[in-house]
Amino acid sequence: MSTATLASLQAEREKLRATRAKEDFEEYQARTCTKDALTTAGIRSRKAMLDILDKLPGRLVEAIDGQHDETRVHYHMSDTVHDLLSQFGETVEKDTQALPLIGRRIKMGATPREIISVSKWADKYRWLKSGTNAPGKWDTNLTPYMREIMDNLSEHSPVRQITFIKSAGVGGTEALYNWIGYIMHHLQNKDLLLVVPTLDLRDRSFNPRLAKMIDETPALKELVNTSTRNRTNRENLLEYGARARIIKAGANSPDSLRADHLPYVICDEIDAFPWDVGGEGDPMTLIENRQRTYSRAKTYLVSTPAIEHTSRIDMMYRRSDRRRYHVACPHCGEYQPLEFKQLQWKKTLPTADVPEHEQLAQVEKVWYACKANGCVIEEGHKTAMLAAGRWIADRPDIKLHRGYHLNALYAPIGLGLGWKAIAQKWINSQNDTSEMKGFINTYLGEVWTEQGDSIDDYALIARLEVYPQDLIFETTTAGVDVQKDRLEATIVGWQADEEAWVMDHLIIPGETTQSHVWNELDQSLRDANVDLAAIDSGYNTSMAKEFVAKRAWTIAIKGMPGISRPLVDDERARRQRLRKRRRRSIPIEPIGVDQGKALIYARVKLQEPGPGYIHFPNTPAFDTEYFAQLAAEKLVTKVRGTRPYQEWVQTRSRNETLDCLNYALAARRMVTVKPKKTKRATGQQQPPKTTPHKPERGGFGNTDWNL
C-alpha cells in the first residue's frame, strides 16, 4: 500500500472519530439540558407549526388555482403540504440550535418521504441501453402522452384503475416497466402481481425484458443481487427491497394466479386472456379477488384490441371515462384527436404491364387534414403538436377509472411507423382479411368487426365463371366431410396469396363403414392430383384414420369451435404431431373451424380477383343447393351471464359444402409441412407457370373496404 493511500485512510478514520465524538456530545447535551431549554425548544416548535398552519389554506388555494383535473389538483395539494412540512422541519432545526440533536430529530420526523410520480421517477432513474431507437436515459418528453398515464399509477394518485387500449409501438408496455421500477425502487415495500396471457409468454418475453431493465437501470440493479436477477428468467417470483415481491403469472394457469392479497396488479395484453382458466372461472375475477382488502389498490390494464363484442380491453375502456389525446392544429389552433380517416395521401398507380391481381398503388405523399378547417398538417408538425397535447375525457363524471385510447398516428417521429408507412400498410391490406384485421387492431388500436357474419346464397350464383384452360396452381388441396351414408369432398386449386379456384365438389354415396366408398374417394383425389387432403374424423373415426394411415398425402382433422382458436396450429406443433404418427396412432389435427368460416365469408365478398378471392366454376355441381349450404351459417353475439361471446349458428340443416371448403382451406395452410408424398407421379413435365387471364364473370361483393 502506498504512503498516500495510507495517509488518506488515516485521515478518513480521524474524520469518522470526530463525527462520532460530536454525536456523543450532542446526545449528552440533550440528556443534561435544563428544563428551561426544553421548554424554549417546545415553544419555538409550536410557534413554527402554527405559522405553517396559518399559511396552509392560502398556499393550497394558490397551488390549485386554475387546475381542473382532479388528479393534478391532488398532486399540487400533496406537493404543497410536503413543502410546508419540510419548511417546518428546517425552521425547528434552526430555532433550536442550543439543542441540535432534538431539532434534527424533529426535522426528520416532520419531513415526509419525497413525493415523486412515475414519470418523474423514470426521467430520473430509468435507462435504456438496448432494443430501442432512443438509447440513453428515459425521457418522457419523447412520448408526452404517456406522462398522465404513468402519473395516474403513482402512489399518491387517487385513480384506482387505468385502462389503455392502444396500437403497437406507442409506449404502453414501457410505461408498464416504469411502474414496476417505481414500485421496486421508490416504494420498496409493495407487492405487485403481473399477469400475461400465458406462462410461456412470461418466460419467453416478460422475464428477459424485466431482467434487462434491472440490469440497465443502476437504481434497480442495486436492489437485486446477481443470482436473483438471473433467476428472473425462469422463476415466477422476484423479491426485492424489504422482502417485497413481484409475482409473475399466466392467465392460462390458475395455480399462478393464487397469490396472497396485494395492492398492485398489471394485466398485459388482456385480449389474449382466456374466459375460463382451468374450470375455475374468468381469470380477471380471480385477479380482482387478490385486491379486495386494499382500499387504495391500483390496476393497470393494457392491450391491443381484438374482436368486437369479445374484446376485454374495449369493454373496460367503455366503462372508463374514455380519454383521447387532443392536439392543436398548427395552423388554426383547434384541438382534435388524430383519426385515421383524416389521413390523406397521393398515390402512384402501377404500370399497365403489371398483372391486375398484383397491382398495388404506392403512397407518394401523405398529410393530415385538420378536422376543423381542412388545414394541411405535415408529419413534421407532430413533435410540437404532441408536446402541447392534452387528454380529454368523454365521461368526466367517472373519477376513479381512467381509460386511454391511442393509435399509431401518434407514434413519435423516429420511434414508430411514419404516416406514409401506415397509409401504405392500409393499401396493402385491402384484399386480405387477415392483413386488414391486423391493421385495424395493431395500427388503429380498434376492435375488428367480423365482416363474414352471413352471406347471400343467391348472390353467390352470380360468381359462377368459365375457367380458362391454362390454369396453373401452386398446390391443390381437398376437404372431405364424412357422413353416415356418403362422403363429400371439395377440391380447390391455389394460386399466390391464397387466391382459390374451386375445381369440383364430389358426393360419393354409400355406407362409410364400407371400403369401396373410401376406395372411390381415393381414386377421385388421385385423379385431381391433390397434394394434401384433410379428412374429417369427427364421424366414423376408425375408417377415417385407417384411410389416412395408408396415404401420406392425407391428414386426419377434427373441427374445434372457438372464435379465438387459429385455423391451424403453428408449424412446430404440427410437425410434432406428424412425427408421432410413426410412433403411435394416427394424430388428428385440430382445426379452428370458426376462423375458417370467418375467412371464407369475408373472401366471398371480395369483388375483384386477387389475394384471397374465391372462384367458383360454372358446372353442374355448383347449383343452388351448393350455395345454400355454403351460406348455411351466420355469426351471432350471445351473452352468458355478463360475458358476451360470438358463436356460429346454422340457419339450415345441411352445411357440408361450407365444411368441405373450410377443410380444404385448412389443408392449404398445412401443405408446407406435408410428409414426403408416396402417391402417383404423372411423368409429365410441368409447364412454366403463367398468369391466368381475368375470366368473364358476374359481379358480386362488398365494394367498401374502408372499415
Question: Model confidence over 636-688: pLDDT tens digits?
Answer: 777 665 566 778 888 888 999 999 999 999 999 988 633 333 333 333 333 33
**How high is the mean pLDDT of the chain?**
81
Do 572 and 465 lie in a common domain? yes
Instruction: Please choose, from the candidates 123, 85, 125, 127, the residue with its C-alpha nearest in 3D space to the C-alpha of residue 107.
Output: 85
Which pLDDT band holds residue 231 (cuts at 50, 70, 90)?
low
What pLDDT is recorded for position 529? Answer: 94
What pLDDT is recorded for position 488? Answer: 96
Which pLDDT band holds residue 98 (cuts at 50, 70, 90)?
very low
Do 525 and 439 lie in a common domain? no
For residue 629, give Cα distances in angstroms to 171, 604, 619, 624, 680.
Answer: 47, 14, 17, 9, 33
Which pLDDT band holds residue 296 (cuts at 50, 70, 90)?
confident
Tell me, yes or no, whether 292 lies in a domain: yes
Contact 418, 409 (CB under 8 A): no
What angle in degrees, to the nearest 10, is found between the helix axes of 541-549 and 515-527?
A: 50
Average pLDDT over residues 470-493: 94
For the stretch 370-405, what's the b/e string if a residue is b when 16 or more beta carbons lie within 10 angstroms of its beta carbon? beeeebebebebbeebbeebebebeeeeeeebbbbb
When mean pLDDT is compared across 5-14, 178-187, 294-303, 555-564, the lowest value belongs to 5-14
Give 462's contacts (C-beta < 8 A, 6+ positions apart).
Answer: 697, 698, 699, 700
For the stretch 65-102, what's the b/e string if a residue is b when 16 or more beta carbons lie within 10 angstroms of its beta carbon? eeeeeebeebbbbbebbbebbebbbebbbebbeebbbb
Cell 394457469, located at residue: 253
What pLDDT is recorded for position 347? Answer: 83
Contact 565, 595 (CB under 8 A): yes
Contact 387, 141 (CB under 8 A): yes
Q: How far apart are CA 503 and CA 493, in angstroms?
A: 7
Tell me, yes or no, whether 1 lies in a domain: no
What pLDDT is recorded for position 54? Answer: 79
Lookup: cell for 214: 434491472
Which pLDDT band holds residue 692 (cuts at 50, 70, 90)?
very low
Cell 394460386, located at residue: 495
Contact 567, 591 (CB under 8 A): yes
Percent of the chain at pLDDT above 70?
78
Report whether pLDDT(113) > 70.
no
Do 86 and 139 lie in a common domain? no
Q: Where among 276, 299, 318 does a domain terminate?
A: 318
Backbone angles phi, psi at 654, to 5 degrees: -110, 135
When mean pLDDT is compared across 68-72, 202-206, 315-319, 436-440, the lowest value belongs to 68-72
Q: Where among 81, 110, 139 does a domain terminate?
A: 110
Average pLDDT over residues 13-39: 66
Q: How far apart are CA 308 and CA 76, in angstroms?
A: 40
Report whether pLDDT(273) > 60.
yes
Average pLDDT over residues 397-426: 92
Instruction: Please choose, from the candidates 496, 460, 666, 658, the residue with its C-alpha nearest in 3D space to the C-alpha of residue 574.
Output: 666
What pLDDT is recorded for position 684? Answer: 34
Percent of the chain at pLDDT above 90?
39
Do 151 and 122 lie in a common domain? yes
What pLDDT is recorded for position 703? Answer: 27
Report whether pLDDT(690) > 90.
no
Q: How far apart are CA 530 and CA 477, in angstroms?
A: 5
For residue 71, give Cα distances in angstroms to 58, 68, 294, 427.
Answer: 20, 9, 20, 41
Instruction: Please choose, from the candidates 370, 383, 288, 309, the residue with its C-alpha nearest in 3D space to the C-alpha of residue 640.
Output: 309
Q: Which amino acid is at 145?
A: Y
Q: Which amino acid is at 604?
A: V
Q: How far apart are CA 455 and CA 602, in angstroms?
A: 9
How many domains is the chain built from? 4
Q: How far apart are CA 524 and CA 429, in angstroms?
A: 37
Q: How far apart are CA 482 and CA 558, in angstroms?
A: 11
What angle in degrees, to the nearest 10, is found between the helix axes of 100-110 and 70-95?
A: 170
What is the reported pTM? 0.61
Which pLDDT band holds residue 242 (cuts at 50, 70, 90)?
low
Classified as helix, coil or strand, 640 is strand
Do 424 and 463 lie in a common domain? no
Tell me, yes or no, whether 104 lies in a domain: yes
Which pLDDT band holds residue 308 (cuts at 50, 70, 90)?
confident
Average pLDDT over residues 160-173: 91
Which pLDDT band holds residue 584 (cuts at 50, 70, 90)?
low
End-to-end CA distance of the chain: 77
Instruction: Please choose, from the candidates 407, 339, 332, the residue with its C-alpha nearest in 3D space to the C-alpha of residue 372.
Output: 332
Do 301 and 354 lie in a common domain? no
CA dihedral over 218, 219, 221, 222, signed as positive or negative:
positive
What angle in degrees, to the nearest 10, is found between the helix axes of 433-442 and 593-603?
A: 100
What pLDDT is recorded for position 702? Answer: 30
Which comes out higher in pLDDT, residue 20 or 305? 305
When mean pLDDT is compared across 77-91, 320-334, 414-428, 639-653, the lowest value belongs to 77-91
Q: How far apart are CA 218 and CA 129, in angstroms?
A: 12
Do 97 and 128 lie in a common domain? no
Q: Which helix (H) or strand (E) holds 26?
A: helix 3-31
Tell me, yes or no, whether 94 lies in a domain: yes
Report whether pLDDT(575) > 80.
no
What angle in degrees, to the nearest 10, is found between the helix axes of 35-64 and 100-110?
A: 30
Which pLDDT band holds residue 443 (cuts at 50, 70, 90)?
very high
What pLDDT is recorded for position 358? Answer: 54
Tell me, yes or no, whether 683 lies in a domain: no
Tell me, yes or no, whether 413 lies in a domain: no
Could you read off the pLDDT of 28-80 as tens digits, one per residue? 555 555 566 667 767 777 777 777 777 778 877 777 777 666 666 766 676 67
Do 199 and 297 lie in a common domain? yes
Average pLDDT over residues 164-192: 89
Instruction: Please choose, from the candidates 544, 566, 571, the residue with its C-alpha nearest in 3D space to the C-alpha of residue 556.
Output: 544
Do 651 and 504 lie in a common domain? yes
Q: How far apart are CA 320 and CA 162, in angstroms?
A: 8
Tell me, yes or no, whether 406 lies in a domain: no
Beta bridge partners of 481: 488
Q: How far apart are CA 703 and CA 707, in angstroms?
A: 11
Backbone angles phi, psi at 507, to 5 degrees: -125, 115
Tell me, yes or no, whether 529 lies in a domain: yes
Contact 226, 297 (CB under 8 A): no
Q: How far apart are CA 450 and CA 457, in angstroms?
A: 18
Cell 469518522, located at residue: 16
Do 168 and 302 lie in a common domain? yes
Report whether pLDDT(610) > 80.
yes
Beta strands in 520-583 (DSSP E): 532-536, 554-560
Q: Which of 81-95, 201-215, 376-390 has the highest mean pLDDT?
A: 376-390
Q: Which domain holds residue 555?
A: 457-670
Which comes out higher in pLDDT, residue 608 or 419? 419
User: How many C-alpha atoms does 264 have within 13 Å on its Cβ side?
Assistant: 23
Instruction: Please choose, from the candidates 601, 622, 605, 614, the residue with its C-alpha nearest in 3D space to the C-alpha of residue 695.
Output: 614
Report whether pLDDT(634) > 50.
yes
Which comes out higher in pLDDT, residue 304 or 20? 304
Do 484 and 427 lie in a common domain? no
Which comes out higher in pLDDT, residue 539 or 487? 487
Which pLDDT band holds residue 444 (cuts at 50, 70, 90)?
very high
Q: Where among 318, 351, 382 does a domain terminate?
A: 318
Do 69 and 132 lie in a common domain? no
What angle in degrees, to the nearest 10, is found between the helix axes of 593-603 and 656-670?
A: 100
CATH number of the domain residue 601 falls in: 3.30.420.240
